[in-house]
Structure formats: C-alpha cells, structure tokens
Amino acid sequence: MPELPEVETIRRQLQKIIVGKKLSGKEITAVRRRAKLLIIDFKDGSSLVFHLKMSGQLILNGQPLKHTRKIFKFNDGSTLVFNDMRKFGWWKRVKNSQILEKDFGPEALKINLISLKNCLKSHPKIKIKQFLMNQHFIAGIGNIYSDEILFASKIHPAKQVGKLNDRQIKLLHQNIKKILEKAVEYKGSSLKDYFDASGQKGDYVKYHQVYQKEGSKCSRCTSKIKRIKIGGRSAHFCPNCQKL
C-alpha cells in the first residue's frame, strides 16, 4: 500500500497541475507511473522517482507535519509535500528512469490475455496470490487488490498457478482490469495512511469484499471470510466461494 490505483490517482492529479512548472530550475514535462513507482520527468531527460511503500503521501501544497520528510518547491511558489510515517518510502533523482523501470513485468492494466497465460504457464508451482503480487511477473498489484481480484474470480489464494484452467485464467484477466479500473475511478482505498494528492481519502474501501474482513459474512454466500498466511502475507478469502 499504496498500490497501482492509489499511485495512478496521484499521478493523474499531479499531471494536471505540475506539468510545465519548474523544480530546481528544471521544467516538468510529464508525470508517469510504472508499477507502484511515481515518476516526474524533466525536459533535460532526467526524472524524480518516488516509491511510497507502506505509508508515503504526496500532497500538493500540504501543511508540514511531524512525519514530513521533504518539501519540493516549484518555481511558482507551490509545493509538493512528501510525508512518510514509517519511513520506508523513498525518492531518487536519476538521469535515466529506465534503470529503475526495467525489472518490472507487464503493467496490470495493460497485460493481454495471451501474455498473462504464458507468464502463468512459466511458473506453475507458485501460488496465485504470490504470483499476482510479484512485480517481476505483473506490475502494480499488492495485498489489497490481489485479494479482491481473486474473490471476484472465485479462485483460492493458495491455488497453484499450474492448476488454473482456461476459464479461470480468462476470468482472472477480466477481473484484474475490472477491479483496478474501478479502484482508480474511486481514487483508491484509504484504510489508514493513504491520501490522494489533494489530501482526500479514496472511496474504494466501501467496495472491498474480502480484504481485512476476516469473520465477516461473504457478500455472495454468507460464509465467514477467512484469513491465512501465504509467503508471509495475509490472504483474505471466502472458503465456500473460493475452494482450493
């Protein structure tokens, strides 16, 4: 957290406002996202790259807080405040952002069905929850949206990738895009630390079906949502709708 929908929300907001401004004398030409990275490109070809990690925030003209780590000042007097309570997030000025971008897999919102199938077939023993969260396989999905995508697809998070049939893979592909696009539409999920670039909370939390809902009733069958650990991360699912 933040994942693709949250970073994409911030990217779209910053794109509208800071392109054309100057930062440290350099003109901003674009604001991009690659996986969970936010990238501000400059006219000279260099970039400012952010990874918000667990609790990072980028707030336009925000007020400095006790966990503010950096204030970026634009030529017109406006600011971009980087807050990070847990201090796992980072920013880097780089001459070529491709060095940081090259190790990511296809973007989750852009991957086609054939590419997804081929990648799945190449890693038959891995559990699907871990596959979705591995940024080398598919870029942008984390703990929240992997749970939601798998619930929508009726796939158990511990199911091995090699045991998925064609119908399940097609459904998975459809729901990756459906869930992520809807989450972007509602400006992401604010559970604790996430705010968009205007300092507002995202509204997608109210559409969560399983994430952090252990013990609650499934919206489809009324069974209780369970939580298990997979690769050290929590996975929330309905044991009735998502059979192993």
Q: What is the pLDDT of residue 166?
A: 97
For the record, the structure tokens of 143 come out as 């703990």
For the record, the structure tokens of 81 come out as 């405040």
CATH code for the domain in which residue 232 is found: 1.10.8.50
Task: Report, as residue numbers or ranges, the catalytic residues.
Answer: 2-3, 36, 233
In the predicted structure, residue 192 carries a pLDDT above the cut 90: no
Domain that holds residue 216: 113-237
In the predicted structure, residue 236 carries a pLDDT above the cut 80: yes
In the predicted structure, residue 196 carries a pLDDT above the cut 90: yes
User: Do both 121 and 200 map to the same domain?
Assistant: yes
Radius of gyration (C-alpha) of the chain in whole angstroms: 19
Mean pLDDT on 59-67? 94
The number of domains in the chain is: 2
User: Do both 166 and 228 map to the same domain?
Assistant: yes
Mean pLDDT score of the chain:
96
232 in a structural domain = yes
- Cβ–Cβ < 8 Å for 178, 145: no
Mean pLDDT on 224-243? 97
User: Do both 202 and 86 map to the same domain?
Assistant: no
- Cβ–Cβ < 8 Å for 64, 70: no
User: Do both 181 and 201 map to the same domain?
Assistant: yes
CB-side neighbour CA atoms (13 Å) of 21: 19
User: Do both 196 and 95 map to the same domain?
Assistant: no
120 in a structural domain = yes
pLDDT band at 1 (very low <50, low <70, confident <90, very high): confident
Instruction: Note the pTM of the prediction, 2 decimals.
Output: 0.95
CATH code for the domain in which residue 39 is found: 3.20.190.10
Q: What is the pLDDT of residue 36?
A: 97
d(CA 127, CA 132): 9
DSSP states of 199-228 = SPPPBGGGG-SSTT-TTSBPTTT-PBPEEE
User: Do both 132 and 221 map to the same domain?
Assistant: yes
d(CA 25, CA 153): 49
How distant, in Å, are the alpha carbons of 63, 66, 210, 234, 238 from that of 219?
40, 40, 9, 20, 9
Query: Of 51, 76, 101, which closes a domain?
Result: 101
Q: What is the pLDDT of residue 86?
A: 87
Place of tokens 């807080």: 65
User: Do both 176 and 125 map to the same domain?
Assistant: yes
In the predicted structure, residue 114 carries a pLDDT above the cut 80: yes
User: Do both 75 and 117 map to the same domain?
Assistant: no
Query: Of 79, 101, 123, which closes a domain?
Result: 101
Please tell me the least confidently modeled range out of 64-68, 134-138, 235-239. 64-68
User: Do both 129 and 198 map to the same domain?
Assistant: yes
User: Do both 228 and 124 map to the same domain?
Assistant: yes
- Span 115-173, pLDDT tens digits: 999 999 999 999 999 999 999 999 999 999 999 999 999 999 999 999 999 999 999 99
User: Do both 231 and 123 map to the same domain?
Assistant: yes
- Cβ–Cβ < 8 Å for 151, 210: yes
User: Do both 140 and 36 map to the same domain?
Assistant: no
Query: Of 42, 77, 101, which closes a domain?
Result: 101
- Residue (of 168, 170, 179) closest to 211 by Cα position: 179
- Residue (of 176, 202, 196, 191) closest to 234 by Cα position: 191
Mean pLDDT on 44-68? 95
